[in-house]
Structure 1
């Protein structure tokens, strides 16, 4: 439960992802190279939590983006860099509840998908639509392509009328 005024820190909640604590080996992106590592793949979880949080009135106070764009465009379902990477203990995802309502984070791991939801003790007062703006790919050096964009969110009232448009983040990453 994330009560009004509280902060959720991913690493404070999860702890050190080591083998002694039961974490398994997964894929880690390290300086642009994929390698096996204990706790690898946890950024899939922070990606999900971050994406879900952008659709709530909760405030992301710390988020790190990947320095490399590793996902192909042909199956992309979300804007580039709309996730959040993590690396224990420094690269953390932190979320504050600056509302006057309590929120509960629910997560489960299925055979092929992570499933999550934020729920609240109050009905939503608005909805959010996340979108990408100013998407650019540049060739900065031989065989070095950089991708940049801005992630924004439209705030909609319950009738679907736009009542705000907010900057979420600006992203830059080398394409793999």
Structure 2
């Protein structure tokens, strides 16, 4: 069997799985909520019993050296989506950011987004924002806080910190609108069993700082001692595909580690992740695959 045929079969299997999952959740929503409840209980039990050292210490004083800074626009054009959900998202982001801003990650500690932020609820002031679920964009309490986990992940992959838990969306709902980062370079969260975690396996102490400007969420990753190396993250093999009547998007995220001195000598090159996702819009440029079953 050819590589193209294997690829085609894999896509068909993926599409069938997505359709079945959606069908089950639509017909039996109670089962979905029971599954979520059970997974949340399981995660809380893990937090209680795993004896791991999770980050909890904050400092209002910034560590001396900055590793990476990034910003993301707060209000974006996302198809025909309700702009009020975008406005509500800003409120959600500000509530969640307070739980993370200034957090220190000491040697041996684990950063857990969900453990730090907690469950987004109306009682805490969270509003309905846009979230991606069941293969579509819709309103949900606390929706939009993935913008923080996306930003943090981008900072972390420019450092020697080790990502130990990360998820990404299985579909791409909106065309790029001023996208700066490579597709699929973020990290989605859903309290509390879809967490974003990384571990500090180094001898350095790191710090995440978050703040807001009029138009952007901004963040930085800092460290207590200057590193003599840095990272460059880039995209390869980006492509839109059409198979049958469905569109898909694929790419690879790579990283180079290089010395800050000695002419920027590259020390290591590694593949971080391969992305493949269903697209719910019509791309302007794509390759159509017509393969026989």
TM-score by length of 2: 0.57
Aligned to 1:89: 192
Superposed CA offset, 1:37-67 (max 9, x none): 1110011111000001111111111111111
Matched ranges for 1:127-138 at <5 A: 127-138=230-241
Contact 1:27–1:34 (CA under 8 A) maintained in structure 2: yes
- Equivalences, count: 175
2:250 pairs with 1:145 = no
Q: Would you tell me which structure has more strand in proportion to its own residues?
A: 1
- SS class of match (1:50): helix
Mapped to 2, the partners of 1:77 and 1:12 lie a distance apart of 29
Superposed CA offset, 1:100-125 (max 9, x none): 00111111233321111111111022
Mapped to 2, the partners of 1:9 and 1:49 lie a distance apart of 11
- SS class of match (2:152): helix
- SS class of match (1:88): coil
Aligned to 2:267: 163
2:139 pairs with 1:50 = no
Pairing partner for 1:2 from 95, 105, 111: 105
Contact 1:4–1:101 (CA under 8 A) maintained in structure 2: yes
2:209 pairs with 1:103 = no
Superposed CA offset, 1:147-173 (max 9, x none): 111111011101222111012111111
* Larger Rg computed on CA atoms: 2
2:279 pairs with 1:175 = yes
Contact 1:69–1:81 (CA under 8 A) maintained in structure 2: no
Superposed CA offset, 1:67-124 (max 9, x none): 1123424622111101111111111110110110011111123332111111111102
Moved more, 91-100 or 67-76: 67-76
Aligned to 2:166: 63
Task: Name stretches of at least 5 consecutive residues in structure 1 with no aligned partner.
Answer: none
Give the root-mean-square deviation of aligned CA atoms.
Answer: 1.4
Q: Would you tell me which structure has more helix in proportion to its own residues?
A: 2
Change (3 A) 1:74 1:107: closer
